[in-house]
Chain A
Amino acid sequence: MTAVIETRNLSKWYGNVLGLSDVTLQIEPGITGLLGPNGAGKSTFMKLITGQMKPNIGSALIQGEKVWNNYSLFRRIGLCPEQDTFYEEITGWEFLTGLLKFYGFGASEVKERAERALEIVELAKDKDRKIRGYSRGMRQRIRFAQAIAHDPEIIVLDEPLNGLDPLGKRKLIRLIKDYKGEGKTILVSSHVLPEIEAMTSDIILIHQGKILAKGDIYYIRDLIEAHPHIISIRCARPRDLAARFVHEDYLQKMYFGPDGGSLMVETHKRDKFFSRLQSFIVEDGIDVEEITSPDDNLQAVFDYLVGK
Chain B
Amino acid sequence: MTTIREKGYAHWDGEFIDRRFPWWPITRTSIKLAFQRKHFKFFFSGAFIPAVVFLVGIYISERIEDFRFMFKGSDKLLVINPAYFKTYMTGDFLLFMIVMLLTFSGAGLISDDIKHNSLQLYFSRPIRKMDYFLGKASVIFFFTLVLTLVPGLIFFFMKLVFSGNFDFFLAYPWLPLAVFAYAGLLTVFLAFYTLLISALSKNRRYVSIMMFTIYIFSESIHGILFGIFRNPYLALFSIKANIQQAGAAIFGQKLPYAFPQYLSFLVLGAVCLLSAYVLKRRIRGVEVIR
Q: Is the CB of A85 within 8 A of B117?
A: yes
Given contacts A102-B19, A102-B22, 6 further A-B contacts (CB under 8 A): A15-B289, A63-B11, A88-B116, A183-B9, A184-B9, A216-B3
Asked if A31 is at the interface (CB within 8 A of a chain B CB), the reply is yes
A74's partner among B12, B125, B286 (CB-CB below 8 A) is B125
Taking the closest CB of chain A, its distance from the CB of B205, in whole angstroms, is 14
Most buried by A among B11, B25, B124, B128: B124
Decide yes or no whether A255 CB sits under 8 A from chain B.
no
10 contacts between A and B (CB under 8 A): A4-B9, A29-B5, A47-B120, A47-B285, A74-B126, A84-B116, A84-B117, A98-B29, A102-B127, A202-B5
Residues of A within 8 A of B285 (CB): 47, 52-53
A79 to B286, CA, bound (A): 12
Q: In terms of DSSP, what is the predominant structure of the interface of chain B?
A: loop
Contact count A vs B, C-beta below 8 Å? 113
CB distance from A114 to the nearest CB of B (A): 13
- A267 sits at the interface (CB 8 A): no
Is the beta-carbon distance between A52 and B16 smaller than 8 angstroms?
no
Instruction: Evaluate contact between A85 and B120: CB separation under 8 angstroms.
Output: yes
The 9 closest A-B pairs by CB, nearest first: A29-B9, A104-B19, A101-B25, A30-B6, A102-B125, A14-B289, A79-B124, A52-B285, A183-B9
A38 proximity list for chain B (CB < 8 A): none
A220 to chain B: closest CB distance in Å?
Answer: 12
Task: Tell whether A103 pairs with B289 under 8 Å between CB atoms, given A72-B18, A75-B16, A76-B12.
Answer: no
Instruction: Return the chain B residue nearest A83 by Cβ.
Output: B117
Complex: A87 Cα to B36 Cα, angstroms: 14
Q: Which of A1-44 contact B (CB under 8 A)?
A: 1, 4, 14-15, 17, 28-31
Residues of A158-216 contacting chain B, CB below 8 A: 180-181, 183-185, 201-202, 215-216
Interface residues on A, range: 35 or more
Interfacial chain A residues near B11, Cβ < 8 Å: 63, 153
CB-nearest residue of chain A relative to B21? Answer: A104
What is the CB-to-nearest-CB distance from A176 to chain B, in angstroms, rounded to a whole number?
12
Q: B residues engaging A (CB < 8 A)?
A: 1, 3, 5-12, 16-19, 22, 24-25, 29, 33, 36, 112, 116-118, 120-128, 285-286, 288-290
Kindly list chain A residues whose C-beta atoms are within 8 Å of the C-beta of B7: 1, 29
Distance to closest chain A CB from B8 (angstroms): 5
- A71-B128, A81-B117 known; A29 vs B6 contact (CB < 8 Å): yes
Q: Which residues of chain B come closer than 8 Å to A63, judged between CB atoms?
A: 11
A304 at the interface (CB under 8 A from B): no
A90, B116: Cα distance in complex, Å: 12
Q: Which residue of A lies closest to B4 (CB)?
A: A201
Are A87 and B112 closer than 8 Å at their CB atoms? yes
- B121 and A72 within 8 A (CB): no
| Chain A neighbourhood of B8, CB < 8 A | 29, 181, 183
